[in-house]
Amino acid sequence: MLINSVIAWAIAQVSKTIIFGIKEKRINFKRLVETGGMPSSHTAFVTSLATGIGLVEGFNSTIFALATAFALVVMYDAAGVRRAAGKQARVLNMIVRDLNKKELHIERLRELLGHTPFEVLIGAAVGIGVVLWRG
């Protein structure tokens, strides 16, 4: 089960790097380990884990319920809390840009922290798909 989750995470991270490369017309290998972007690798990991548990232990088991609750919290955090933090970082970076014109040299915040609901949905599809593909 854990192997499938790691594979789902890796597929999502590599996909994210490729999609970024196509959109930005440049390769950024940092995307292999960064958060945010399409698809959500956190979601791919936890949905793969929950699906695998459901298939092995049963979809009525307590451990599946726990894994599903955990997955839902991670998915909510990715599309809710972390996305909001990314939006706040964008606003703060605009303020910092104006302050840096006065030569204060304040470090920029990372803006790509969370995911859109669509990115989370695709991450879930990757996670479930890996388990169904690998068994």
pLDDT digits (tens, 9 = 90+) for 75-92: 988 877 766 666 777 777
pTM: 0.77
Provide the pLDDT confidence category of residue 135 given band limits of 50, 70 and 90: confident
How far is it, in rounded angstroms, from Cα 52 to Cα 105? 48
Closest CA to 62 of 72, 50, 73: 50
Find tokens 């964008």 and name the residue: 90
67 has pLDDT over 80: yes
How far is it, in rounded angstroms, from Cα 28 to Cα 21? 7
pLDDT at 112: 58
Cβ–Cβ < 8 Å for 94, 15: no
Tell me: the pLDDT tens digits for 20-49? 898 888 888 877 777 778 899 999 999 999
Closest CA to 47 of 134, 126, 132: 126
pLDDT at 106: 63
Residue type, 85: A
Cβ–Cβ < 8 Å for 49, 68: no
The mean predicted confidence, pLDDT, of the chain is 86
Cβ–Cβ < 8 Å for 16, 27: no
